[in-house]
Chain A
Amino acid sequence: MEKVNVKINNINVQVPEDYTVLMAARDAGIDIPTLCYLKDINEVAACRLCVVEASVNGVPMRNLPASCVLKVQEGMEVKTNTKRVRNAVRSNLELILANHNRECLTCQRNGTCELQSLSDEMGISDIRYNGEQRRWTIDEVSNSIVRDSSKCILCGRCISTCRDMQGIGILDFTGRGFETEIAPAFDYSMNDVPCIYCGQCIQACPVAALREKTNIDDVWAAVDDPDKIVIVQTAPAVRASLGEEFGYPIGTRVTGKMVAALRRMGFDKVYDTNFTADLTIMEEGTEFLNRVKNGGKLPMITSCSPGWIRFCEFNYPEFIDNLSTCKSPQQMFGAIAKSYYAEKAGVDSKDVVVVSVMPCTSKKNEAARPEMEVDRIRDVDISITTRELGTMIKQTGIKFQNLEDEEFDRGMGEYTGAGVLFGATGGVMEAALRTVADILTGEQLEDIEYKQVRGIEYIKEATVTLPIDGKDTDINIAVVHGTKHIAELLEDVKSGKKDYHFIEFMACEGGCVNGGGQSHVSAKTRMYLDRRVERAKALYEEDSKKEIRKSHHNPEIKKLYEEFLRKPNQEISHKILHTRYERKTSYDLKNQEEYDKLKDSIK
């Protein structure tokens, strides 16, 4: 890669020739303002805030080009702070603000909004262009995501994320010009289109135009209710991101403080989803071995990612029988809490409220799925995101930084290193392998770090040789994250190009650590920091520090089986820990049959 010399605000920098002026400016220590720019995902130069004055070898460029797409050239000189540029940026920002619902004080993104910070940084003190505003639409129908067009700045980051990163594409520009609105097709609600609620659009959105449906008040209502026993479970990925809500660097592990905070908030029991992550390994591991030994449906595919489940039900219903029938750890936890725990604690399950803190927005929808209940009692009552927890901690007035580390409650709070790995891509697979390997070999294997399934390569493949019924068998495994890449792999499986025994799918790139419910990371930070990697580090670190690192060694899990479940995949676990799925139609059309015929004929 050749390097070129450019001058930015009279500062000389030497940068690779494929750099844009925006990137080169960063090297020169200059932060050019951006709004629509999202590295590698949305580089469209639409907001026109990153405009600069540029000349090449003394010849000025026409107008004010956008630096986020302007490639550097040898001899280029850029000025980001001339009167012309300042006027232009200020004018464009005011124009965006003029068509924006500026209720910042009561807005969910107050304090984390990129438009808000930019207005502050640019010193906007007056909005000269006040007039008509676009039509305001609020879509609050789904359990997980709220779309609010009054705040949309039409940057298109959500569209590119859904369509190009996730390979789904349920959002697009509709209408034209001033009337443009970002919405699903035909003005449908997000609830009526094949949205998987992964919330990546929320992560992409710089403002509150896309946000999670909050359930904070529901949680407080439960905690305040003296007749209810409120149990909280925390997903592994939450501890890797919660700290960011309080200013900690991305990927700081705050497990102990998180537990302490939860206790101070008034939860009756502070447990860990990792407990049921280990449980899932027991159930799923057994299920897998059953299928392998008895000619069951292979490849078996994990089912803990609700985004993936919906993706499967909408787009690849032919793989529904491949899914593990296990519920996700969140759901298993609720089921166990409302049976095993209630029994042991001597309380009526109707009085038990299970709250989950998840890095995920799709979990809200999963908790509300009709089949996620046992004898009419819902497994999980309320699911909140990492962000919501952050808000609740602040509402309680807790000074997070000053908290001393505490431990989860006994009973359903013990977890192994394998369990905590669930939050990163490859984690479920690695946890499963640790247990399956021990079961098959009958040994306590020491080498338990399966590096082949770690990391952010989209499709990771490996072959593990293990003895099955005495014979050494090659077990082909695959780990994929991001629904776009899941589709790629499934096509290969369908065509017969690839053959696997066990597959782990996570709907979000990087796994749950990058879920739709995690702390917001600005586009600016995403230019140089990969949160998928940074947060995963926290989980692998926690695993390495754990004494017990295999799910089947979890003493509380052992006790659970002894006292309650008896054996994996048997009667009781089948009733409460396993579930079913169903094909879903996208875009409810009146003549679905005709449409399907037409779709097949085009293929």
Chain B
Amino acid sequence: MMKTLEELKKLRDESKKNMEMRDTDKKTRIVVGMATCGISAGARPVLQTLIEEVDEKNLSDVQIVQTGCIGICRYEPIIEVYKPGEEKVTYIFVDSRKAKRIIDEHIIKGKVVNEYTIGSEEKR
């Protein structure tokens, strides 16, 4: 039973998060490979971490999407980051810790975490 407008606002902000997903005009997409290879390599915890981070840090314009086999199975777990106006970035061998850093540095601060990318792996 809400007695004030403030209480309504609070409820709105709480409920909003769940609704954000239903809007495909988002700005940033993070695609997580969730095929059999990905899952057996540990993609589920990565997915979970990403979702939690986005929620905790209120990143309303970030969408976490799962997909099937991205193709380069030996690098799983793989996540791909699509930021509008930027080139796609593919991160490999991702785990929960790396996922958190990616969110913090790439998504929020805008700096690609180069050492996790497929590019840096290829260079080696």
A and B touch in the complex (CB under 8 A): no
B residues engaging A (CB < 8 A)?
A: none
